Structure formats: C-alpha cells, structure tokens
Structure 1
C-alpha cells in the first residue's frame, strides 16, 4: 500500500503542535509540502522536520497528483477558500476548527465536499478523545436515562489571545470566545448526544474587556507575538446562550476574559437517572443512585492524545474512502448553532435554526 501524501497549509502553532508531528508519526503517511504565506515559516518547517518542500502559495500544490491529503491550518478567513480549492482539485481535506467564519462559508465547504465526493473533516479533536467517547458510550447505553439538559462552562479570567491581532479581528476570525473555544464545547456536546437537530438559539455575545487594548491587564497571553497595540478588537470576550434541540437543551457560559478570577472549564450532562461532569481535557465523574444511596463514580481509564487519534483517523479515511465522526456533515451543526447565537445577540431575539 502506498503512503498517504500530505500537504500542510499554514505552518503556525496548531500545525506544529498537532498536525505535522502526527503525520510524521504515522507509518502510512508522509508530508510532501509545507506551505505558508510567511516564507520563513514554511522554510523552517522543512529544516526542522527534514522532509517536504517549502512553498508560499497553496495554488502551486493544487495540480500535483501525488497529494491526496491536505491539512488546512490557516487563519479562519482562509478556511473556506483553501478547502474548497483543494476539494475541487480532487484532494481530501482536514480543515482546522472552526469550519469557517460564518455559516454560509461552511455550507459552501459542505457543498463542495458533496459535489466532489472527497472527504472534508473538521478539526474538532474532542470527538477522538477517550474520555469523550466513554461518556458517549454511557449516554448511548441509557445509564443516564433521558439527558434533558447539558451545561457547558468555558470561562477564564484574562485569556484574550493575541490582543489586537487576527484573533480579535472579526473580519479574520469570525468571532471571539464562542468561535474559538465554544466551538469545541458545543461540538463535543452534539457528538455525545447523538447529533440532535438544533431548533432555536438565544444568546448574547459581549465585547467588553478587550476594547481598551493598551490598558488591558492580564497575567499571560497566548499568541502574544501576534498582538498589536494599535490593532482591532471587535469580537466577543464572553458569551452566554441557550440552544433548544430535538434532544437536550444546551446552555453555556464562556469567556476569554471576565472579572471573576476563576477558570471553569467543564461540561455537565444531566439525565433523569444519573449525570456526568466532564473536566474539559481530562476525566469525568458520574453521579447517580444505587441501592437507595447517592453515589459518585470516578472512572479510572487510560486517556489518549486526541490530536494523534484525529490525524490517524483522517489518514485511515483517505486510505479507505470512508468518513469519520468529524465529517463536515456532523460539524456543520455547530456552525449553525454558533451563527444563530451571534445572530440572536445582534438582534436580541431568539433565532430559529433552519436544519
């Protein structure tokens, strides 16, 4: 069997931290190209990993028949254009989350995948985490009974990334805390609950603490190298919402930044027989009743590297021609929910979601 031949588009932190190392660790794959519009980043990747060719325009790769797998690790504003171009060039694509800045772009991506018959997976890596799949198994088995409400908290004290740069520029990113962090939480909930149809959403997104860029006080900042004191800040640093589905009601509260000095990152799956609290990125506790007693069960299991599992699954999909749980047809539901929450915030009313 010949190896999967991959190209990595965008050689930033997510590419170097998740995609590239796991392609190289998989015996069924090799990387032919490293591409970045910042030339030194592509050059550095070739030097660091000792393979592939550096290119600075992804269009140079489109016509290469050897390439059959592409990771799109660019800023959000380029996701749709680049993914669609590669799909129409006959390549299978793994596009980092979020699928796109806005729903219409994500729908264009889904349409291109359907029309070309190629695989389009979205980088919602939690779908490959052992802890998440254990919870899904518990829900599917009926141990929680009817899961009627799920609450997600993705709150930090002062964690606005790259203040003033692309992360906080809506034209580039599409949004803030919701589209950057909330996408993972909402998608995880949808996956564990069996992809229920979203019906309506009501929410408010707040742009408050980062507006005064020069006087913003923080302890640490991810992507500090992309921050700009004279840049743009027009995205949500916190968000709250409620989503009705054909399954559970989903509510959430998220914040890149808030004037509460606590970080709270968890998801509660609340059923009429039992409940589960997932410590995001970690393990979980199950609460229930047994023999007339209230019980807490703390499972002990071996976790995994969700990014590695994600890349391994994508490579397997390319080889077998089969879709996995991160396919655009599943991930599109989260795009619909996020768009509805943003629309609700702008109009200050509940939004019906056209499934």
Structure 2
C-alpha cells in the first residue's frame, strides 16, 4: 500500500475549515499530521474535525518543519504572515498551498516564487475560482472564440455594511496590505486573468475610499465575519475601490465595496465581446448573450457546480506528488499581485500610473 501524503494546517481560523474539508475528502491518501495555531483550542478543534489520533497540535509551526515526513502545508494565516511562513516551509522542503492574497504586495509574492523555484517545490495560491466549474466554462467560451474579441470587462464586488473584523488585522493596513481590494477584489481580478490568459496591465487609474467606519463606534453593520469589532484597534484601509485598468487585451473597470450605503449585493463579472457577451454571477452560473439565425439569444448555463475548495485541495496534493505546476501556481498569480500594487499606487498618488 502506498504511503499516505502527510499534510499540515498552519492557522486554524475560518478559512482553514475549507482546507480541512478538502483534505478530509481525500482521506484515503492524505492524513492531517499537524494542526498549528497560536490559540491551542482552535488547533484541537481542527484536529477533532479533520485529524486522527496521531495528529499533533502545536502553537509554533517551526516544530512541524523539523518533521521530514510532512509533504504538504496549507498556510491559512493573516496576510502579513503569508510570505515569511510560506518561505520557511519551502526552505524546509515542503510543498505549500498559501491562501489568497499571495502576499501583502508584489515584492513579497516574487520572493515566495523565488523560494519555491530555489527549493524545487510547488507553491500554489488559494485562487479557488480557477477550480469553479462556472469559471472554467466561461474561460472555455472565451478561448474558443465564442465571444469574438473581448474588448471590455466590468466587475462588481459590492456588499452592504459588511466590513470584516473591524479594528482587527483585516482593517489594519500593516497586517492586511489593504481592504476590500486585497480581500475580495483579488478573487475577481484573478478570475478575469484566468479567463483571459493573463493580459498584461499597461496603465491603472484608481480611487480608494475609507469613509464609513472612520468613526468605528458610530459604524452600524449588517454583518461582520471574523468579528466582533475591536474599537481600540485600527481602521486605515479602503472599504470602497473603483478603477480602470488598460491591458494589452481588454480594458477592465471595477467597483468594489465591503460596505456601501446601498442595501444591495452586486457580485458579478461581465465580459463584452464583438460576437457576444457573458455575465457571470460570482461563484455560480452565467448567461451568454449573442445572436443566432437573426435572433437575439440569451442562454443560461446549466450544469452542476461541485465544491471548488475540494477540487483545489485535490489538485494541490496531486500537483505536489507530481512536482507539476498547475493553474493556481504562484507563476500564474503574480500578475494579480502586481495589478493590485498599481491600483493602490494610483489611488495613493491620485493619478493614472504606468505599469513597468
């Protein structure tokens, strides 16, 4: 019988549950050997959910790195820890799946890639939409020429009064790298880059707003994941971002909001082509608009959409076993990190910037 792959979870907060579910779905050939968290109770909880009698709970991930039997690691930590912890794991000879965003900025993401290449290890990023069946179907339509030339893309990632963990690391720029863009927008930008085969950004013009929670105690909210609020904390990131990106392919415009004073959620991407257009509902199905035999046609996609987190974890374990770079590899995600850097630079400087 083949030896099981041994996995470790570093960080046992909310998102680690999706990773744990993924590993549990392939328990026939993967064991979670370690659960690591600064809060011991959280590590013990994940062990109870996803581990076994042999699973070890730790508060210091560096103890796990000394175990040569660990093959793969999921890094599920706050953004400011992504680069240093991932690089430590790669240097210790582990394959890594690091949650999104890859890092706080493009420079950190590049250092992670360099560590993966130097050590000959796989580094995937948690760009889970690349494993979503709806996204895969849209990519197939676009790359097969079904929309003609795609010349304009618009995406919206907006919600009503839902700033996460106000006052905590999500809203502290030194720990998160940013707000709505780096938290939600990263998924939309990466999805678009995947569907369009990574067009290169040329210029960026963007504006960020940090208004609604400027007085944290006065901020009223509908929901707050990763909460509750810490009113003695920091709020110095954007809850709203808007911009225009010119690429060597289509132009992209976007609006994103953790919080806005419009009580609606708008989560979608529109691809405009010369032969047709697609509106993709985030995480779900799409509608194709085109003409056929002199008639206007609107077709809604109809297929099952399996759990993309399970597909992501399975693909990671398989890619690590083969030593093969796949769609979620750091190499394919760098352009998204670079683009977010330029969005923040444009907003900070109050002008359009050229991407070098």
TM-score (norm 2): 0.97
Query: How far is the alpha carbon of 1:47 from its aligned partner?
Result: 3.1
Q: What's the RMSD between the two structures over aligned residues?
A: 1.0
Alignment partner of 1:224: what SS? Answer: coil
Aligned partner of residue 207 in structure 2, secondary structure? strand
Relative to 1, partners in 2 of residues 1:251 and 1:271: Cα closer, same or farther, differing over 3 Å? same
The residue aligned with 2:20 is 20
Q: Do the aligned partners of 1:12 and 1:41 also contact (CA within 8 Å) in 2? A: yes
Matches within 5 A, 1:170-319: 170-225=173-228, 227-319=229-321
User: Could you tell me how far apart the structure 1 residues matched to 2:51 and 2:117 are?
Assistant: 36
Residue equivalent to 1:58: 61
CA displacement at 1:43 relative to structure 2:
2.2
Structure 2 residue runs of 5 or longer lacking an equivalent are none
Give 1:44 shift: 2.3
Task: Give SS of 2:316's match.
Answer: helix
Equivalent residue in structure 1 for 2:147, among 127, 144, 147:
144
1:336 aligns with 2:338: yes
Query: Structure 1 residues 50, 64: closer, same or farther in 2, change over 3 A?
Result: closer
Q: Give the Å deviation of 1:260.
A: 1.4
The alpha-carbon deviation at position 198 of structure 1 amounts to 1.8
Check the 8 A contact 1:90/1:118 in 2, yes or no. Answer: yes
**SS of match in other structure, 2:15:** helix
* CA distance in 2 between partners of 1:49 and 1:340 (Å): 39
| DSSP 3-state at the match of 1:61 | helix
Alignment partner of 1:322 is 2:344: no
* Segment of structure 1 superposing worse, 167-176 or 196-205: 196-205
Equivalent pair of 1:28/1:315 in contact (CA under 8 Å): no
> Is 2:11–2:75's contact at 8 Å kept on the other side of the alignment?
yes
Please report how far the alpha carbon of residue 50 of structure 1 lies from its aligned counterpart in structure 2 after TM superposition: 4.3
Q: Is the 8 A contact 1:144 1:273 kept in 2?
A: yes
Note the residue ranges of structure 1 that are not aligned, 5 or more in a row.
none
Residue 199 of structure 1: how far off its partner (Å) = 1.7
CA distance in 2, matches of 1:248, 1:50: 46
Please tell me whether residue 91 in structure 1 is matched to residue 122 in structure 2: no
206-215 or 123-132: bigger deviation: 206-215
Residues 33 and 51, structure 2, Cα contact 8 Å, conserved in 1: no
Residue 245 of structure 1 and its aligned partner are, at CA, apart by 1.3
Partners of 1:148 and 1:247 within 8 A in 2: yes
